[in-house]
Structure 1
Amino acid sequence: MVDQRPPLSSVSDFVTWEPVLRLMLADDTERRADRPARVAGRIGQYGTSLAHRGPMSSTARTAVKDIQRALAQGRVQQIAFRAEVHPDGRATLGLVWPTPVVEPACGYPDLGVLILADGVLPEPWRRRPNPAFRAVPAPSANPELLERTLRERLPDSTGATEEEIAAAEARLGVTLSDEMKVLYRVTRVYSDDDFDLEEADRAGEAIGCEASGLEHLRSVDGTVRHLGWDPGAKRAVSGGPDAAVQSLAGSPGWITFGSNGGDEFAVDLTPGPAGHFGQVILIDHEQSLGAELVADSLTDFVLGRMRKERREHCGEALPVARVGIGGLETIQAAAHPDLEVLTIGFRHGAPFSLAPLRALPHLRTLTALPGTLSDPLEVAGLPGLEFLELGAQEWRLLLDAEAVPRTLKAAAIKVREQDHLPVVAIANEILDLWDRPRIVQTLLSGDLGPAA
């Protein structure tokens, strides 16, 4: 759509963008070959994503700073642009304005991820823990030994009362493990009303980490670890019958009690099939999914008896697969019942058929580069998709056939050069199916002169 009332009139002027376009067309092989040249990028208040070779000219640098200044004054975080320039110099520039229904893309040419429902996250971040009714503490869990050890290390410490521990359980909505109750009976670590840095340091040294006060115990909220649909929709956590830790982003039963200065330690009250109630896990701040078992019990943790074998945070043997150059050779090879995420890339030979994927119960994400599908309408036969990324022409076929899967929660259009300007119109047709607000694009025309 063409916006008749540009959000920022100072930016919605072709002359403002001329130096930026000339910068990106410096290596203008397309126009010199008598073909239209296409460029795309982003400019934000604090940075840019511009494809160009060599240093930026002073004219272009001034233009970028002027645009950034206008964005800041208008409280616009960033603006995406795409342009088509003909050999004779005629140019069409599309300015795509930010909107809550689009999550900006990691790669500059792409429009971003279309969010088709408010507040919905990819399945791994929505996943709730399976009940752990049969889980029991590890043989090494020894509340008496733990209490004796902590009292020896902290002879003058003040512990929490039973009422205070019960209040913490009520606030968290869980029953703490016997070991955790022992820990806080020996030491509160500190309280909000009476913070003593030296006492907190002594408690942390005795426990083996930077320990939290009883009032600061909390469960791990998986939504906080979400990085966005791209790349979130393409991630998975593997698990199985021998998993000690459930494949989750967070759990009401992951109760954090300390940190190593960056990562968090938690007592796990919802362990996996091969885990133990009250085991200690590590939530890595650089990971957005999963947790790592570090000790079978809090007793082991305090005594320094850590797990020597470290497990991976995210396994991608079965849940995630890639087909094409650098990956599997066929769709059949990827069609495992546990497959959740499939990426289809280029290959030498005929495009791929999606027929082998029809019966897969957990397939939720499909990304396919433009031109890699023999029949894009086969997408309609995949009943559980929540994220779909296709090229503009593939989306065009689905829209015309009214075959866009209505199970989708997010979608993306993979852009090729010829699709830069029409992509917003296609995106708006997708958004219309979910009655979502449309994207605003301002189209500007100008003349950059013939190719040098």
Structure 2
Amino acid sequence: MVDQRPPLSSVCDFATWEPVLRLMLADDRDRRAARSARVAGRISQYGWSLAHLGSMSSTARSAVEDIQRALARGKVQEIAFRAEARPDGRTTLGLVWPSPVVEPAVGYPDLGVLILVDGSLAEPWLRRPDPVPGAVPAPSADLELLERTLRERLPGAIGATEEEIAAAEARLGVTLSDELKVLYRVTRVDWGDDFEEADRAGEAVGCELSGLEHLYSVDAAVRHPGWDLGATHAISTAPDAAVQSLAGSPGWIGFGSNGGDEFAVDLTPGPAGHFGQIILVDHEQSLGAQLVADSLTDFVLGRMREERPDRRRDKLPAVARVGSGHLETIQAAAHPALEVLSIDARHGAPFSLAPVAGLPRLRTLTALPGTLADPLEVAGLTGLEFLELGAQEWRVLLDAGAVPRTLKAAAIKVRDQDHLPVVAIANEILALWDRPHITQTLIEGDLGPAV
């Protein structure tokens, strides 16, 4: 959709963008060789991505800051732009406005990820914990020692009633570990009524302690980094893992923090773990958790573990990258466990997808422009939920009516191609799912011939 609406009149003025475009085109080889030159980038209220090496001139910086101020006034988070400058200087600038169906691409000037299904998450963030019928508390779990230690550290503390504990279990839909019940029988931790007492409770336990009514299950959806990053991840739990490789679990009961990361009692441990062990959910990580103590008793007594999360995810056979510097053939990536296939550029013939057709778990394909011998072979990948292709490859699929309808999200990768038609292609893809269109404003201007 091309829209000439000016939600921000100064941003829709070519003169506003001219210093930015001149900065990005200053060393462009195509323009110096009298060919059309193309650039793309993003500017948000708080930063920018201009794909420009070197320092920024004061004129360009001032222009960027003017655009940022205009975005802030208009309450527009960010704007993507793409421009084509012809040899004679005539230039078309396309401004792409934020859309609820587009997730911005991290670190790239590409349009972003098209969200085809509302609220959808990449598969690892939907993974539920495996059953743990044989899991038992660690030998170090000592209810009497735990209660005695807490009462010694918290004389006079007011504990929760059995009715309050039962209400918390009903709200969470789980049965709390016996150790966690002991903790809250000693102190119910009410930050609203007695801040000092709650602070003492935190010091006694060893973390910033949550009140009983604030216990929560770690939600995988909250940790989802977006499709741009999440689609290429895969997880699996090793047979000797103490913690299941998950983004979250109904059995990860958050009870405190260290000021940034969350401590949780783990009621769904890994094959080598213990029921009620203590794990740390790192706020800088979107998958997995770290075992820090075999029991709440150990945690309170300072007997910590140093076991790190399992880092074996995102590797063969579940995740494969083919192309220069990686696997040489698609055949080398083909495996029944393959979930994510990424195809990079290389010298030589494009790749055929035939070796991976019909693989039962393949859900993500990313392929740089020009790397597929026949884009229609994508139709043989029957379980795709995320697909990232070049504009020309998408054009082939759209013209043939062969876009996989299993997709939940999609992206158009643009590299050294015409950026301006990308929005039109994106809107064709969105239309297949009856999703709202993206708005683009086209502005004509003149930068003059290259000097």
Query: Where on the TM-score scale, by shorter chain, does this alignment land: which range?
Result: over 0.9
What letter is aligned with 2:219? D
| C-alpha spacing 1:27/1:222, structure 2 compared with 1 (3 Å) | same
Return the offset for 1:282. Answer: 1.0
Structure-2 residue corresponding to 1:377: 376
Taking only aligned residues, the RMSD between alpha carbons, in angstroms, comes to 2.0
Return the offset for 1:380. Answer: 0.9
Asked if 1 retains the 8 angstrom alpha-carbon contact of 2:96 and 2:438, the reply is yes
Structure-1 residue corresponding to 2:412: 413
Structure-2 residue corresponding to 1:443: 442
Deviations along 1:386-439, one digit per CA (max 9) or x if unpaired, are: 111111111111111111110100000000222311111111111111111111
Q: What is the 5 A alignment of 1:283-432?
A: 283-312=281-310, 315-318=313-316, 319-432=318-431
| C-alpha spacing 1:210/1:65, structure 2 compared with 1 (3 Å) | closer
Structure-2 residue corresponding to 1:48: 48
What letter is aligned with 2:373? S
Asked if 1 retains the 8 angstrom alpha-carbon contact of 2:291 and 2:306, the reply is no
TM-score (normalised: structure 2): 0.94
What letter is aligned with 2:446? D
Q: How many residues align?
A: 450
Give the gaps of 5 or more residues in structure 2: none
What letter is aligned with 2:351? F
Q: What is the 5 A alignment of 1:183-332?
A: 183-188=183-188, 190-197=189-196, 199-312=197-310, 315-318=313-316, 319-332=318-331
Q: What is the 5 A alignment of 1:84-99?
A: 84-99=84-99
SS at match of 1:334: coil
SS at match of 1:419: coil
| Larger displacement relative to structure 2 (96-105 or 331-340) | 331-340
What letter is aligned with 2:49? S
Does the alignment pair 1:118 with 2:118? yes
Return the offset for 1:313. Answer: 5.5
What letter is aligned with 1:316? D
| Larger displacement relative to structure 2 (33-42 or 8-17) | 8-17
| Larger displacement relative to structure 2 (134-143 or 273-282) | 134-143
SS at match of 2:79: strand
| C-alpha spacing 1:421/1:219, structure 2 compared with 1 (3 Å) | same
Asked if 2 retains the 8 angstrom alpha-carbon contact of 1:81 and 1:95, the reply is yes
Return the offset for 1:338. Answer: 2.5
Structure-2 residue corresponding to 1:3: 3
Deviations along 1:166-211, one digit per CA (max 9) or x if unpaired, are: 12212222110111111212222x21453242x3343333323222
Give the gaps of 5 or more residues in structure 1: none
| C-alpha spacing 1:71/1:155, structure 2 compared with 1 (3 Å) | closer
Structure-2 residue corresponding to 1:79: 79
Write the distance in 1 (CA, Å) between the matches of 2:238 and 2:28: 53
| C-alpha spacing 1:211/1:5, structure 2 compared with 1 (3 Å) | closer
Asked if 2 retains the 8 angstrom alpha-carbon contact of 1:291 and 1:313, the reply is no
Asked if 1 retains the 8 angstrom alpha-carbon contact of 2:291 and 2:307, the reply is no
SS at match of 2:40: strand
Deviations along 1:135-154, one digit per CA (max 9) or x if unpaired, are: 22223322223223333433
SS at match of 2:171: helix
Return the offset for 1:261. Answer: 2.3
What letter is aligned with 1:382? L
Write the distance in 1 (CA, Å) between the matches of 2:443 and 2:239: 58
Write the distance in 1 (CA, Å) between the matches of 2:358 and 2:238: 21
| C-alpha spacing 1:53/1:308, structure 2 compared with 1 (3 Å) | closer
What letter is aligned with 1:261? G
Write the distance in 2 (CA, Å) between the matches of 1:64 and 1:302: 52
What letter is aligned with 1:361? P
Return the offset for 1:219. Answer: 1.1
What letter is aligned with 2:434? D
Return the offset for 1:254. Answer: 0.6
Write the distance in 2 (CA, Å) between the matches of 1:194 and 1:425: 57
Deviations along 1:69-91, one digit per CA (max 9) or x if unpaired, are: 32222222211111111111121
Write the distance in 2 (CA, Å) between the matches of 1:61 and 1:259: 41
| % identical equivalent positions | 81
Write the distance in 1 (CA, Å) between the matches of 2:353 and 2:150: 59
Deviations along 1:57-106, one digit per CA (max 9) or x if unpaired, are: 34333332332232222222211111111111121111111111111112
Return the offset for 1:444. Answer: 1.8
